[in-house]
């Protein structure tokens, strides 16, 4: 039915996930009973468990494996080792990217911590872009961040710290010890082109047409000789794939536009909201992928 409806309109890919590990199934059932809204009004755990097991039995009676068309089967891949990925009749760029994404994704719980760099001199002056050092407040934040990371990840020896190649993120990460640090050019702030180093008031005065164009559509507006938010989102694809692949915690120290895009991806926010997402200085956003979706905590280390 679906293939007939889609004919001539779009391509359909079926994704089938199969788990044969009884321990994982039992764990998932327990989590479902404890965390799913389906059982929020059921105080009796055993009654909820019995109900869900009956549902599984009914599913099994009518379930038919996917055997035709374009499909991807993920078999016992939840553990991240010894699994299989079966691919049938998959061709084209986007379907290929989907397969690549699925190969690198997993459900192992681990936190991702997002934070902007400490306040920079350009932040103080209200200037766009640049590559300035930290202000006094920014240096203080870098020390507070190091203390926070040391306590939060003290038992996570395989955690990593990711920064951009700009010195304000590298300096923010400097006091953090005991974890490897990786610099990503893809995590650099949005390229503001000819507007780099200017204040928004200067842009409004000198380049009023550019100022108004940006104001009308921040998502698609591209700075002259620079980037748009859509450009930033596109260059973040390898970073996102690598974040999905990681099994240990990752601390990402980056910039406002970049973190807006990353946060929107994990929080499943609409594209149109990306440019206006709140991403304050001196704040850590901890993201945890869970059964009920993405859970987050925010830690404000400075007023």
Please pick, among 117, 127, 260, 282, the residue that the annotation labels catalytic: 117
Please pick, among 123, 127, 191, 235, the residue that the annotation labels catalytic: 123
Please pick, among 55, 110, 222, 255, the residue that the annotation labels catalytic: 255
- 189 as an active site residue: the answer is yes
Please pick, among 127, 168, 214, 235, the residue that the annotation labels catalytic: 168
Please pick, among 116, 214, 235, 282, the residue that the annotation labels catalytic: 116
Report how far residue 212's alpha carbon sits from residue 210's, in angstroms, rounded to the nearest whole number.
5
- 123 as an active site residue: the answer is yes
**Binding site: residue ranges?**
116-123, 168
Please pick, among 106, 127, 189, 210, the residue that the annotation labels catalytic: 189
- Tell me the CB-side half-sphere exposure of residue 79, using CA atoms within 13 A: 15
Provide the b/e sequence for 36-75 (b: ≥16 CB within 10 Å).
eeebeeeeeeeebbeebeeeeeeeeeeeeeeeeebbbbbe
- 222 as an active site residue: the answer is no
Q: 174 in helix, strand or coil? A: coil
- 282 as an active site residue: the answer is no
**Binding site for substrate: residue ranges?**
116-123, 168
- 116 as an active site residue: the answer is yes
Helix (H) or strand (E) holding 161: strand 160-163
Structure tokens, 146: 């190091």
Report how far residue 76's alpha carbon sits from residue 244's, in angstroms, rounded to the nearest whole number.
17
Active site residues: 116-117, 123, 168, 189, 255
């Amino acid at each position: 039915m679906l293939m007939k409806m889609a004919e001539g309109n779009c391509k359909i890919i079926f994704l089938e996930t199969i788990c044969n590990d009884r321990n994982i199934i039992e764990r998932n059932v327990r989590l479902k009973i404890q965390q799913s809204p389906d059982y929020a009004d059921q105080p009796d755990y055993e009654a909820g468990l019995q109900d869900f097991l009956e549902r599984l039995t009914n599913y099994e009676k009518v379930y038919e494996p996917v055997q035709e068309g374009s499909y991807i089967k993920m078999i016992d891949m939840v553990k991240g080792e010894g699994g299989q990925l079966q691919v049938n009749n998959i061709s084209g760029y986007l379907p290929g990217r989907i397969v690549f994404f699925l190969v690198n994704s997993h459900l192992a719980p681990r936190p991702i911590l997002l934070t902007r760099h400490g306040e920079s001199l350009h932040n103080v002056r209200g200037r766009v872009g640049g590559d300035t050092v930290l202000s006094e407040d920014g240096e203080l934040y870098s020390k507070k961040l190091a203390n926070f990371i040391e306590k939060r990840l003290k038992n996570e020896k395989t955690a990593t710290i990711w920064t951009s190649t700009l010195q304000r993120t590298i300096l923010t990460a400097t006091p953090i010890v005991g974890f490897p640090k990786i610099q990503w050019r893809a995590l650099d702030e949005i390229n503001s082109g000819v507007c780099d180093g200017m204040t928004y008031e200067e842009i409004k005065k000198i380049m009023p047409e550019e100022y108004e164009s940006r104001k009308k559509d921040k998502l698609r507006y591209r700075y002259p000789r620079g980037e748009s938010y859509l450009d930033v989102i596109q260059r973040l694809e390898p970073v996102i794939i690598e974040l999905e692949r990681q099994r240990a915690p990752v601390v990402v120290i980056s910039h406002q536009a970049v973190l807006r895009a990353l946060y929107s991806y994990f929080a499943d926010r609409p594209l149109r909201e990306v440019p206006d997402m709140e991403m304050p200085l001196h704040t850590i956003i901890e993201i945890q992928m869970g059964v009920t979706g993405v859970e987050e905590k925010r830690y404000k280390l400075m007023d």
